[in-house]
Amino acid sequence: MSEHQLSHLDEHGAARMVDVSAKDDTARVAVAEGYVHMDHATLALIQQGGVPKGDVIATARIAGIMGAKRTSDLVPMCHPLPLTGITVDLEPHGDDRLHIVATAKTTGKTGVEMEALTAVSTAALTVYDMCKAVDRAMRIDGIRLLEKQGGKSGHWTAR
């Protein structure tokens, strides 16, 4: 397979799950981030614990962890992975957005990039769900991989 060929397609262009059975188990880490933009009053409400549905930060953190654990159920070609660690941190960034960072870890034959990205996405959707009654104009963006470690490709960081 060439370096630029899509690994989830066979020689006929049909979707397939990549066979990783010949790969060695290595420690794998991936870090992803994203943002939820909102009205400054919405962020203040979150920080004061005044959202009627409850503690937005704690609930979004748990949702992100749960999302990471269910990634292979949501993304068809992902391998189910035994995660050895997942953290999801949500911090105010300025007065009108939350910054979400997720770190996923495993020891295995394939990386945890999708798990980290799913954790960020699920946490961001949970923030939106919990706050939509007060701010329907919230915007989720900037979801991206920041860093990955392990495997044949080694260490990679975003520019």
Whole-Å CA distances, 31 to 36, 53, 57, 127, 132: 17, 29, 19, 20, 27
Task: Assess whether 141 carries a catalytic annotation.
Answer: no
CA atoms within 13 A on the CB side of 41: 6
Tokens of 143: 């979801």
Of the residues 39, 89, 96, 129, only one is catalytic, namely 129
Q: Please list the active-site residues.
A: 129
